[in-house]
């Protein structure tokens, strides 16, 4: 399988090049040259297969030319060392819990798969790989922990100062070793802009082997299809339509779902659920995509004003608005609505949702209320509630316990390099340190 840039479909590169470059040289995002369709036999027997077997079958279609099957098996086993259960919540509503990985958020899937791929590719060259990652919270921790002590790699995390929770911050500012944290005086979009600019800076890239670990990297996207197949296989939907509601920021998770559907998984509809950073729902309502500065919310991993995977969604549908609007519904919710959903589900079912999952729950319920499809709904729970303990406890009047995996970070001292949002300052730091 080859990969092309969304800005130039005729220029094709190997998986290795797509993964090590991250962003294409023309600033486009890499896409697989075609979306492979899985055999009917495989799809019919999904429920007899393990998560590892499913992930292998899906991944192999994309990696066949670059990664030997035995190596891919090892990579999958290393990536998925935790379950992704579908938990029944109320009648016809399930939570797909993607937070059972080491940093308790769904980004562990993408980050761990990518670190394994890069480790494999770094092994075949002599130059160290420097991974730049802009984070609004969870990406930084998943990537930093995924790459910790992976030989031949160094990670630089950029995050907006004061705009991530303490637990999130501690997970990527206390690791040391091959992980450096830059604390940017700005918002998430500034961090993302700095990273993008570094890739276009020839002076820098001629000296340092830079790559990105944001959701723009194709190695992050591929594993985000696995769990849609797995979740679907564990529901007993029969012929009833299955709807997935995905709490969205940069839209990597939802794009993974769209790819799963294109590969043959019969998902009826996707719901793009957002907080008030509703650029995508606005696009569906108005046909116009208008990026804007992000606003801070309690579901801060979705505080994104210019969703980077929008280019991929357009590409998947050849820019055809009507098809996009048929496949994906978009709804946005305020913090107040989010908190009241958290309270409602907690009081009725004693289930603790984190704010991101709660936004997805709201989107699912809204769709089901407005559309009488007799479907089975799955809302994607992207983070363990303890990652947002302050807001969860304040909202539910609880004292939820912090799992040991998270607890261990809290007692550690953070080490960061504070920086302005100015590119010159950022590039100077990179030149000096790497
Ligand atoms: C990153 C993240 C999201 C948003 O995912 P995208 O792929 O960027 O749309 C949602 N919830 C949590 C907890 C996250 O960390």
| pLDDT tens per residue across span 21-32 | 888 889 899 999
Are the beta carbons of 407 and 278 closer than 8 angstroms?
Answer: no
Q: Which one is catalytic: 107, 163, 269, 339?
A: 107
CATH number of the CATH domain containing 368: 3.40.50.1100
Distance (Å) from CA 206 to ligand 1 centroid: 32
Q: How far apart are CA 304 and CA 379, in angstroms?
A: 20
Answer yes or no: is 140 within a domain: no
Through-space distance between the first and last CA atoms of the chain, rounded to whole angstroms: 33
Q: Per-residue pLDDT tens for 306-323?
A: 999 999 999 999 999 999
Residue count of the chain: 434
Q: How far apart are CA 122 and CA 16, in angstroms?
A: 10
Find residue 273's DSSP bridge partners.
247, 331
Distance (Å) from CA 221 to ligand 1 centroid: 12
User: Residue 330 belongs to what domain range?
Assistant: 83-105+221-405
Which atom of ligand 1 is the closest one to the Cα of 354? 13
Q: How many domains does the structure of the chain reveal?
A: 1
Answer yes or no: is 259 within a domain: yes
- Mutation probe of ligand 1 site: the residue of 95, 99, 100, 106 with most atoms within 8 A of C-beta: 106
Which atom of ligand 1 is the closest one to the Cα of 255? 7
Q: What is the dihedral of CA 23, 26, 30, 34, to 10 degrees?
A: -170
Answer yes or no: is 381 within a domain: yes
* Low-confidence spans in the chain with pLDDT less than 50: none
Are the beta carbons of 181 and 157 closer than 8 angstroms?
Answer: yes
Distance (Å) from CA 308 to ligand 1 centroid: 12
What pLDDT score was predicted for residue 125? 80
Answer yes or no: is 143 within a domain: no
Q: How far apart are CA 100 and CA 408, in angstroms?
A: 16
Q: How far apart are CA 175 and CA 181, in angstroms?
A: 9
**Which phi-psi region, left, alpha or beta, contains residue 344 (left: φ > 0; alpha: ψ -120 to 50)?**
alpha
Distance (Å) from CA 248 to ligand 1 centroid: 6
Two tokens at 386? 């303890």
Answer yes or no: is 351 within a domain: yes
Distance (Å) from CA 70 to ligand 1 centroid: 31
What pLDDT score was predicted for residue 88? 97
- Give the distance from CA 302 to its chain's centroid: 10
Find residue 383's DSSP bridge partners.
105
The angle subtended at Cα 380 by Cα 84 and Cα 320, nearest 5°, is: 120
Measured from the Cβ of residue 197, the count of other Cβ atoms closer than 10 Å reads 13
Answer yes or no: is 130 within a domain: no
Q: How far apart are CA 299 and CA 380, in angstroms?
A: 14
Distance (Å) from CA 399 to ligand 1 centroid: 24
Is any ligand 1 atom within 6 A of the Cβ of residue 215? yes
Q: Tell me if residue 107 is catalytic.
A: yes
Answer yes or no: is 35 within a domain: no
Which atom of ligand 1 is the closest one to the Cα of 250? 8
Is any ligand 1 atom within 6 A of the Cβ of residue 275? no
Is any ligand 1 atom within 6 A of the Cβ of residue 251? yes
Two tokens at 394? 């304040």
- Mutation probe of ligand 1 site: the residue of 138, 294, 309 with most atoms within 8 A of C-beta: 138
* pTM for this model (two decimals): 0.91
Measured from the Cβ of residue 81, the count of other Cβ atoms closer than 10 Å reads 12
Measured from the Cβ of residue 356, the count of other Cβ atoms closer than 10 Å reads 34
Answer yes or no: is 273 within a domain: yes
- Mutation probe of ligand 1 site: the residue of 216, 248, 255, 389 with most atoms within 8 A of C-beta: 248
- Give the distance from CA 191 to its chain's centroid: 17
What pLDDT score was predicted for residue 100? 96
What pLDDT score was predicted for residue 152? 86
What pLDDT score was predicted for residue 258? 98
Burial of 399 (0-12, 13-18, 19+ CB in 10 A): exposed
Are the beta carbons of 242 and 235 closer than 8 angstroms?
Answer: yes
Is any ligand 1 atom within 6 A of the Cβ of residue 273? no
| Residue indicated by tokens 């919270």 | 137
Find residue 97's DSSP bridge partners.
381
Is any ligand 1 atom within 6 A of the Cβ of residue 188? no
Is any ligand 1 atom within 6 A of the Cβ of residue 250? yes
Computed from CA positions of residues 59, 178, 419, 163, in that sequence, does the dihedral angle turn out positive or negative? positive
Is any ligand 1 atom within 6 A of the Cβ of residue 212? no
The angle subtended at Cα 312 by Cα 309 and Cα 315, nearest 5°, is: 155
What pLDDT score was predicted for residue 44? 95
């Amino acid at each position: 399988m080859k990969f092309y840039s969304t800005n130039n479909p005729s220029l094709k590169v190997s998986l290795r090049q797509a993964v090590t470059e991250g962003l294409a040289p023309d600033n486009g995002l890499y896409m697989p040259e075609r979306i492979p369709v899985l055999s009917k036999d495989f799809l019919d027997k999904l429920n007899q297969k393990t998560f590892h077997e499913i992930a292998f079958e899906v991944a192999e279609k994309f990696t066949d030319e670059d990664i030997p099957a035995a190596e891919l098996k090892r990579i999958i086993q290393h990536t998925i060392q935790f379950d992704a259960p579908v938990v029944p919540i109320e009648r016809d509503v399930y939570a797909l819990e993607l937070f059972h990985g080491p940093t308790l958020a769904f980004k562990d899937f993408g980050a761990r798969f990518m670190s394994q791929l890069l480790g494999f590719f770094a092994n075949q060259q002599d130059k160290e790989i420097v991974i730049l990652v802009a984070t609004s919270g969870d990406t930084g921790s998943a990537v930093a922990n995924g790459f910790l002590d992976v030989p031949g790699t160094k990670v630089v995390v950029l995050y907006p100062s004061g705009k991530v929770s303490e637990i999130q911050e501690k997970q990527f500012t206390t690791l040391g070793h091959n992980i450096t944290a830059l604390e940017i005086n700005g918002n998430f979009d500034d961090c993302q802009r700095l990273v993008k600019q570094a890739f276009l800076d020839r002076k820098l890239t001629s000296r340092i082997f830079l790559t990105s670990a944001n959701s723009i990297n194709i190695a992050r996207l591929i594993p985000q299809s696995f769990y849609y197949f797995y979740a679907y296989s564990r529901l007993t939907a029969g012929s009833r339509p299955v709807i997935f509601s995905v709490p969205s920021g940069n839209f990597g998770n939802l794009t993974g779902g769209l790819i799963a559907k294109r590969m043959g998984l019969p998902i009826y509809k996707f719901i793009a659920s957002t907080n008030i950073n509703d650029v995508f729902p606005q696009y569906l309502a108005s046909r116009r995509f208008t990026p804007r500065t992000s606003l801070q919310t309690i579901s801060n991993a979705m505080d994104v004003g210019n969703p980077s995977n929008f280019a991929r969604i357009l590409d998947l549908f050849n820019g055809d608005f009507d098809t996009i609007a048929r496949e994906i519904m978009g709804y946005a919710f305020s913090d107040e609505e989010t908190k009241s959903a958290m309270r409602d589900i907690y009081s009725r079912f004693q289930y603790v949702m984190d704010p991101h999952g709660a936004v997805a729950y709201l989107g699912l319920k809204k769709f089901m209320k407005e559309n009488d499809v007799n479907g089975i709904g799955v809302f994607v729970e992207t983070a363990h509630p303890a990652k947002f303990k302050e807001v969860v406890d304040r909202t539910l009047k609880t004292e939820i316990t912090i799992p040991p995996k998270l607890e261990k970070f809290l007692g550690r001292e953070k080490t960061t390099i504070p920086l302005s949002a100015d590119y010159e300052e950022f590039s100077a730091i990179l030149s000096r340190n790497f």
